[in-house]
């Protein structure tokens, strides 16, 4: 019986690797035809091509402990301070989602299904190879994910307070972060000292500085970089070492700054500026950004935990002391997080309105993954509030599978046409 099980698993793993490689190649075959892409995207392309060609070489080969993370609410600074390497495991592969499907109800989050698919089959080695997987109990799916994964890897669950404005929530989270710290110390047998904390906060600050500069360049009228490439850059953070990611993004920013001087954008100025918000967009599921830009929209910014929100919020060291730095990390990972699992939706609304103004956005696309209930729940009041502020919106409910691509394309094209029409009506030039 067990033998049969393993045989089936092995078969499934092989099939998954094959399908993953096919979809990755498809993406990069298309990218190869594209002209006018920034050259500094090359290191990111190389990284993601490895998903097809050399899955074992995706992570840096340093002989350190690897700590798998889910969600943005785990401060990566702590992992670096413990001398380990953080790997964000949130997955975007439709084939992996299929491989994990058997364990889930009909309508369930594809991200979690894919993560389980990768872990069960072992098609991507690092899903099982992590020395510890940290899962914050954010949405219902993540709450149950730990149990499914703990059969394959050591799992540490973090309690996340959902009503975060109270004192009890803050103190509780401070303690959870300290618990994580102790677990990491035990794992790497390295004491997280003040100096190490400070250094790792600086490491992330440097990445965040480049990230903010990147976002600022994206806000330019010229559309210096396509939204899909921006998602690629952000997704690369999942798997890259912080220092090398920062280096690559610095090169990219410099190239974009030069392009700005030369007036070289990747989209015509007539392209309506679109903001993408909602459920995460993770490689290789770049369906929505690609569809928006194929339809003639310029994806100038996103409010996604997988890209735009990924490195935005910065921890501030007030006193360079142990307690203060821990609290700073706890605060930065919880307080400004606009994930809809938290009770208060005003932060997200305020942030969206601010982004709409700062990036001169003309239309908002709400991305809801089927089964991603928190975003779905928050959508109706949010839509009403944005509509009251005069924002054009499109709601897309989909999953990772490419089956609905064509109907989606029709809807997105129509939306972009509406935005163009609106710009004409407002007296703008195309």
Residues forming the site for other proteins (CB under 8 A):
165, 167, 170, 194, 201-202, 205-206, 208-210, 212-213, 215-216, 219-220, 250, 253, 257, 313-324, 327-328, 331-332, 335-336, 346-347, 350-351, 353-354, 357-358, 360
- Of 97 and 207, CB closest to other proteins: 207
- Of 65 and 309, CB closest to other proteins: 309
Is residue 275 within 8 A of residue 359, CB to CB? The reply is: yes
CB of 286 to other proteins, least distance (A): 26
CB of 316 to other proteins, least distance (A): 4
CB of 299 to other proteins, least distance (A): 18
Interatomic CA distance for residues 340 and 345, integer angstroms: 7
Task: State the maximum Cα–Cα separation within the chain, in Å, rounded to a whole number.
Answer: 71
End-to-end CA distance of the chain: 66
| Whole-Å CA distances, 52 to 8, 20, 295 | 22, 7, 28
Give buried/exposed letters for 322-361 (b at 16+ CB in 10 A, else e). Answer: eeebbbbbbbbbbeebbbbbbeeeebbbebbeebbeebeb
Give buried/exposed letters for 82-109 (b at 16+ CB in 10 A, else e). Answer: bbbbbbbbbbbbbbbbbbbbeebeeebb
CB of 335 to other proteins, least distance (A): 4
CB of 194 to other proteins, least distance (A): 7
- Of 102 and 350, CB closest to other proteins: 350
CB of 23 to other proteins, least distance (A): 35
| DSSP-based helix, strand, coil % in the chain, nearest 5 | 60, 10, 30
- Of 158 and 355, CB closest to other proteins: 355
- Of 6 and 165, CB closest to other proteins: 165
Interatomic CA distance for residues 318 and 286, integer angstroms: 39
- Of 120 and 332, CB closest to other proteins: 332
The token duo for 337 is 């997080």
């Amino acid at each position: 019986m067990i033998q049969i099980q393993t045989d089936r698993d092995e078969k499934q793993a092989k099939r998954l690797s094959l399908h993953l490689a096919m979809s990755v190649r498809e993406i990069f075959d298309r990218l190869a035809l594209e002209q006018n892409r920034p050259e500094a995207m090359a290191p990111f392309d190389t990284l993601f091509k490895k998903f097809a060609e050399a899955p074992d070489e995706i992570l840096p080969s340093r002989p350190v402990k690897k700590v798998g993370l889910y969600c943005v609410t785990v401060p990566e600074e702590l992992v670096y301070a413990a001398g380990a390497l953080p790997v964000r495991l949130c997955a975007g592969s439709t084939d992996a989602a299929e491989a994990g499907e058997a364990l889930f109800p009909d309508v369930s989050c594809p991200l979690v299904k894919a993560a389980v698919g990768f872990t069960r089959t072992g098609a991507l080695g690092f899903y099982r190879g992590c020395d510890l997987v940290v899962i914050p109990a954010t949405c219902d799916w993540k709450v149950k994910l730990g149990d499914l994964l703990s059969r394959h890897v050591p799992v540490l669950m973090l309690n996340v307070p959902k009503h975060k404005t109270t004192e009890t929530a803050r103190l509780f989270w401070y303690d959870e972060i300290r618990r994580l710290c102790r677990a990491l110390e035990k794992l790497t047998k390295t004491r997280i000292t003040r100096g190490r904390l400070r250094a790792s906060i600086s490491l992330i600050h440097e990445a965040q500085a480049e990230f903010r500069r990147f976002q600022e360049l994206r806000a330019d009228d010229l559309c210096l970089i396509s939204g899909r490439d921006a998602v690629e850059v952000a997704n690369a953070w999942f798997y890259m070492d912080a220092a090398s990611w920062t280096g690559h993004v610095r090169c990219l920013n410099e190239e974009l700054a030069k392009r700005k001087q030369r007036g070289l954008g990747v989209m015509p100025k007539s392209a309506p500026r679109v903001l993408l918000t909602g459920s995460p967009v993770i490689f290789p599921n770049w369906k929505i950004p690609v569809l928006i830009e194929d339809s003639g929209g310029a994806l100038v910014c996103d409010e996604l935990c997988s890209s735009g929100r990924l490195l935005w919020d910065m921890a501030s060291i007030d006193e360079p002391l142990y307690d203060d730095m821990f609290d700073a990390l706890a605060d930065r990972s919880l307080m400004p997080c606009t994930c809809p699992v938290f009770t208060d939706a005003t932060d997200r609304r305020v942030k969206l309105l601010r982004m709409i103004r700062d990036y001169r956005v003309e239309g908002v696309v709400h991305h809801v993954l089927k089964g991603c209930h928190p975003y779905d729940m928050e959508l109706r009041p949010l839509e009403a509030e944005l509509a009251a502020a005069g924002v054009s919106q499109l709601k897309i409910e989909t999953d990772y599978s490419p089956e609905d691509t064509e109907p989606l394309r029709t809807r997105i094209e129509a939306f972009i046409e509406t935005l163009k029409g609106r710009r004409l009506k407002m007296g703008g030039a195309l």
